Every structure is written in C-alpha cells, then in structure tokens.
Amino acid sequence: MSLECVPCMVKQALKAASYVTDDIKVREKVLREVMKRLLEISWEGTPPQLAHRLGVVSIIKSITGNEDPYKEAKKRCNDVALSLYPAMKEMIRFSDEPLRTATLLSIAANVMDLAAYDSFDLEETVSKVLKQGFTINDYELFKKKVVEADTLLFFADNAGEIVFDKLLIETMHS
C-alpha cells in the first residue's frame, strides 16, 4: 500500500462522519478515534485491507449509534442507476452485441464506489466507457466462458452498480 492512501482513509472517515452528523465535535471525535486506530494497525496490504482493519463504520457506529453512514448515499446511487435502467435496457436490446454492451455498462457503473470518489457523473462515464471499450480486451474469452458455464457466481460490491450488474446478469441469462 502507498503511504498516500493513509490520509485518504482519514478523508473518507471525515466524509462518512459528515453523512451522519453536522456536529463538528462528533466529527472530530470520529477523526481522532480513526487516527488513533491508524497508529495501532498494520499498514501492510491493499487499501481495502487497510480500510477493513481500520473499521471506520464501526468507529462511527460506536460514537454516533448510526449503523450505516452510507445509507442515504447508497439510496441516491440506486435511484440514479434505476432512473437509467430502462434506457440502458433498450440500449442493450438494440445493440449488435448485447453481452458486450451489458458488460461495458457494468464496468462503467463501477465508478459508484462511495468510499473512493467524492462525486461522479454516471451518464458521462457510461458514454466514455462505451466509446473507449475495454482497456484490457479479454471479452471474447469472457464471452466463451459465459456461454460454456453451467452456473455463474457474481459478486456485487457497490450500491447503484448493482442495477447495471443486473442488466449484465439478465443479458448473460438470455
């Protein structure tokens, strides 16, 4: 992990605390606890591993009683994605390569990681990804594996993104 990730973790903690309360003293208490915890844990591994060890959500819960500081933000992401769902479904339906289009849409929706980004424009990202295509193009191998598979296990990790993943799963199933 890069040392630049450490201040980013603190910034994410502040953002998460801001979702829960406007009280500066409570936010400060959360940050102080996060910084104390940063001194105690290993910084080895990936940023997600560090974030897990840091336990920002647990810290926020213990200080504020709020079990999910991202609840409202996740709802907003889902609402944005759901508002685009009919148009994206039509885009896939009229595509020359529906699976390719659905895969690219699912990739584009990955931007909806609340912990990693302060803001995003999903429609702009979708447009850019559809024009740009795959950065690493293993699509033909992916397509072959999907067609050959009896079962698939799909991991979903972000609110909002799941709506686009649903489009991909529906397309793989058809």
Same domain, 138 and 127: yes
Tell whether 75 and 56 lie within a shared domain: no
CA nearest neighbour of 103 among 148, 135, 134: 134
Model confidence, pTM: 0.76
Of 68, 95, 121, the residue at which a domain comes to its end is 68
Of 14, 34, 68, the residue that ends a domain is: 68
Residues 87, 132 within the same domain: yes
- Answer yes or no: do 81 and 167 share one domain: yes
Answer yes or no: do 75 and 63 share one domain. Answer: no
**Are 45 and 80 members of one domain?**
no
Residues 22 and 85 in one domain: no
What digits encode the pLDDT tens for the residues 66-79? 999 999 888 988 89
pLDDT tens per residue across span 88-117: 999 999 999 999 999 999 988 886 665 555
- If one counts the domains in the chain, the total is 2
Model confidence pLDDT, tens digit, residues 144-157 = 999 999 999 988 87
Residue 120 confidence (pLDDT): 66
Q: How far apart are CA 145 and CA 130, in angstroms?
A: 22
Q: What is the pLDDT of residue 31?
A: 97
Which residue among 16, 51, 68 closes a domain? 68
Shared-domain flag, residues 123 and 168:
yes
What three-state secondary structure class fits 41?
coil
Based on the domain organization, do 75 and 135 belong to the same domain?
Answer: yes
85 and 166 within one domain: yes
Boundaries of domain holding 135: 71-173
Taking the C-alpha atoms of residue 13 and residue 37, their distance in angstroms, rounded to an integer, is: 12
Which residue, among 93, 109, 111, has the nearest Cα to 101 in the 3D structure? 93
